[in-house]
């Protein structure tokens, strides 16, 4: 096909006849190509919103110039042709599309209500019209034919008149009944065609892609991951091998009927849905009725707020006149019913161009590649940046400067690049393949990627300005050096005001500097000064933990302190010497060595000591056995005299581990008053339960 400009603007009113005809031909080519990709190959290359934009532009041009409308225009049919690999099925009742309301505001719902009232010639004094409000699922439309209550055929929408016979694959969908249930109030008619949507839940989609990635890693040929749940669901329905389709976790919602023959009738659409539910079909729980424009607006806003919490994807809601008699009066216009409309939400995917790829450093030192984009309105906001997650993901998607990409933003989720539009791959100005820098773009420290990790991280935790706030908060927390009153808001103020650049700057703060901060009273400023002074007296494990070395938690910090006795010995220890410490493996040893190999990290340690931070000297541990070595404790409830931290310190000093959860491997549960579920779990598993007195006795009686 031709490769027209993806971003051609609408023609000006003064356009020539030749340019109008050329644009119409261009739009037909675009829509035919991308309709085939979407409906037939299940491999969409552009977001739905972009396709809709082109479709509406062509509709407008054909309305203005009907003499140039062609029989093969995409506006003259519902969808794409069925695959040749499936038997063609003619629908007894055509599966037509419904109109899309692209005004995503409340006015879109109000406009539909106004149109319906006008068509029905209702006066302003007439009561409001009752509607059924439904979700607009993002899946694959299916027609299910039942004869004498038994499923005999399932067909896709296809082009609306002819679809594809996918009965064998649909039989694998557990939510679709093979035989209808017998309802008390209404028996199913002799022939019943049920219409609905086959879709894939988000959690099922993620699990499917995890399995696909595992197969790719094993070297299985022909395997791929899926772009989105709709793509995965459509691909599963159109599998030629039902065994493969059965592996794909598909779901189904019913929302209407096609041909009906036999003794059954309904007077409203909601009555019809309730009958389908009684016969065994799943109907979305959020389906409801609404009165007039006000009811439609309320539903649209309610579902919009819930959209990102739903377990499946939707791209809008659907309004249908509830009365089937009124539906018949309203009838159809062209290819669409007058009595129904799909009201869209802001598109969650759009097309734009990659202008650059930068690397951002997070609060914890993680390096993330970020695509700088030509501004695009998506998910209700203008987006200029989108995450590429990590180097492997950027390379897998092969995103480069100059590419046209699909950007997705759902709710408050950080915008991400979904993939590259294939047509842009021929761009002669494509940039180089992305490679993560080996030094931090903020501070110049080494950027390392540990074995088995997807992310690169900056090693300059105490020095890197991007990590400054996180480093200070970690250092000042209760389990580390503990500076009482130094919380996130105050740290933000101190850093943003330029009063703190590194950890030692904390101890150079004076009363005057603190008192100048907004909402900082003299007493509060003095309290911080006193807390900083108090924090200078700490312990080596707390200080070591407070440095924020990756993989060095409290237990590891205590083990290092007990083993080496002093900070200098730890800073100078080789990886081999570090590996001699209990609970220190190759990854932890390498992380410690990398941290102290950075000269600026060692300088921060020296400056902190110069500021007066100190601790009692420890003797390096001997090879003498620990009294509680090999045991695992869990602490729950309030102890009589020991705080939980103090109890943990005593237990770990005696060689035991302290865990946060009870399991069969737990040796003892140390329980105080108001012990909760952990105590119940211990009794259930038969784990020994002791109190504080019993713990002290164990420690005192041990050699």
Q: Catalytic residues, which ones?
A: 136
Residue with tokens 């312990």: 539
Residue 575 exposed, middle or buried by CB count within 10 Å (0-12, 13-18, 19+): middle
Bridge partner residues of 136 (DSSP): 316
Return d(Cα 465, Cα 74) in angstroms, integer.
55
Reduced 3-state DSSP string for 312-370: CCEEEEEEEECEHHHHHHHCEECCEECCEEEEECCCCEEEEEEEEEEEEECCCCEEEEE
Q: Which two tokens stand for residue 146?
A: 């039942």
Is 255 within 8 Å of 283 (Cβ atoms)?
Answer: yes
Is 515 within 8 Å of 529 (Cβ atoms)?
Answer: no
- CA-CA distances (angstroms) from residue 317 to 137, 275, 390, 652? 8, 22, 35, 57
End-to-end CA distance of the chain: 84
Q: At what angle do helices 48-64 and 17-35 cross, to 10 degrees?
A: 140
Residue 610 exposed, middle or buried by CB count within 10 Å (0-12, 13-18, 19+): exposed
Is 243 within 8 Å of 327 (Cβ atoms)?
Answer: no
The CA-based dihedral angle spanning residues 101, 102, 104, 107, taken in that order and rounded to the nearest 10 degrees? -50
Return d(Cα 612, Cα 197) in angstroms, integer.
69
Closest by CA to 533, choosing from 515, 514, 506, is 506
Is 164 within 8 Å of 105 (Cβ atoms)?
Answer: no
Bridge partner residues of 156 (DSSP): 142
Return d(Cα 505, Cα 294) in angstroms, integer.
59
Is 237 within 8 Å of 170 (Cβ atoms)?
Answer: yes
Closest by CA to 675, choosing from 637, 648, 622, 645, is 637
């Amino acid at each position: 096909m031709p490769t027209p400009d993806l971003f051609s603007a609408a023609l000006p009113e003064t356009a020539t006849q030749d340019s109008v005809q050329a644009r119409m031909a261009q739009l037909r080519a675009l829509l035919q190509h991308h309709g085939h990709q979407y409906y037939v190959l299940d491999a969409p290359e552009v977001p739905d919103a972009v396709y809709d934009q082109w479709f509406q532009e062509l509709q407008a041009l054909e309305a203005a110039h009907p003499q140039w409308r062609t029989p093969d225009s995409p506006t003259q049919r519902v969808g794409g042709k069925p695959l040749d690999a499936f038997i063609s099925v003619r629908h007894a009742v055509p599966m037509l599309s419904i109109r899309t309301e692209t005004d995503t505001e409340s006015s879109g719902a109000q406009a539909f209500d106004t149109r319906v009232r006008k068509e029905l010639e209702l006066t302003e004094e007439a009561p409001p019209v009752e509607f059924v409000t439904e979700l607009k699922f993002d899946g694959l439309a299916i027609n299910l034919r039942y004869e004498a209550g038994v499923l005999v055929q399932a067909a896709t929408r296809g082009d609306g008149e002819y679809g594809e016979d996918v009965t064998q694959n649909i039989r694998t969908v557990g939510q679709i009944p093979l035989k209808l249930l017998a309802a008390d109030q209404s028996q199913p008619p002799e022939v019943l065609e049920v219409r609905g949507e086959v879709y894939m839940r988000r959690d099922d989609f993620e699990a499917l892609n995890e399995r696909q990635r595992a197969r790719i890693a094993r070297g299985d040929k022909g395997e791929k991951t899926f772009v989105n749940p709709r793509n995965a669901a459509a691909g599963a329905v159109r599998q030629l091998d039902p065994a493969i389709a059965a592996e794909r976790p598909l779901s189904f919602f019913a929302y209407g009927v096609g041909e009906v023959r036999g003794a059954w009738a309904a007077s409203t659409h909601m009555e019809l849905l309730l009958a389908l539910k009684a016969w065994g079909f799943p109907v979305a729980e959020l389906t409801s009725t609404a009165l007039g424009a006000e009811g439609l607006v309320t539903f649209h806003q309610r579902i919009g707020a819930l959209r990102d919490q739903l377990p499946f994807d939707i791209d809008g809601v659907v309004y249908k006149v509830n009365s089937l008699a009124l539906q018949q009066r309203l009838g159809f216009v062209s290819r669409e019913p007058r009595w129904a409309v799909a009201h869209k939400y802001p598109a969650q995917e759009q097309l734009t161009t990659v202008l650059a790829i930068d690397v951002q450093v997070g609060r914890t030192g993680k390096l993330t590649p970020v695509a700088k984009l030509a501004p695009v309105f998506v998910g209700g906001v203008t987006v200029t940046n989108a995450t590429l997650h990590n180097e492997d993901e950027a390379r897998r998607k092969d995103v480069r400067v100059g590419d046209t990409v699909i950007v997705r933003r759902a709710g408050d989720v950080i915008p991400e690049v979904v993939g590259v539009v294939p047509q842009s791959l021929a761009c002669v100005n494509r940039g180089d393949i992305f490679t993560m820098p080996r030094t931090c773009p903020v501070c110049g420290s080494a950027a390392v990627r540990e074995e088995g990790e997807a992310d690169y991280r900056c090693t300059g935790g105490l020095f890197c300005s991007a990590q400054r706030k996180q480093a200070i908060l970690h250092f000042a927390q209760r389990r580390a050096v503990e500076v009482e009153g130094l919380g996130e808001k105050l740290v933000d103020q101190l850093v943003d005001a330029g009063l703190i650049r590194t950890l030692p700057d904390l101890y150079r703060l004076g009363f005057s500097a603190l008192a100048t901060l907004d909402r900082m009273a003299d007493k509060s400023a003095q309290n911080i000064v006193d807390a900083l002074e108090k924090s200078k007296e700490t312990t080596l494990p707390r200080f070591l933990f407070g440095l924020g070395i990756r993989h060095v938690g409290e237990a590891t910090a205590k083990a290092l302190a007990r083993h080496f006795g002093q900070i200098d010995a730890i800073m100078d220890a080789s990886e081999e010497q570090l590996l001699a410490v209990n609970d220190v493996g190759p990854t932890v040893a390498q992380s410690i060595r990398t941290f102290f190999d950075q000269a600026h990290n060692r300088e921060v340690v020296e400056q902190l000591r110069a500021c007066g931070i100190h601790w009692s000297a420890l003797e390096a541990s001997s090879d003498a056995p620990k009294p509680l070595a090999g045991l695992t404790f869990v602490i729950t409830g309030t102890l009589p005299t020991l705080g939980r931290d103090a109890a943990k310190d005593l237990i770990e000093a005696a060689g035991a581990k302290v865990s946060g959860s009870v399991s069969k491997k737990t040796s003892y549960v140390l329980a105080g008053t108001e012990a909760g579920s952990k105590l119940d779990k211990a009794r259930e598993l038969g784990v020994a339960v002791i109190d504080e007195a019993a713990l002290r006795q164990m420690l005192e009686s041990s050699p």
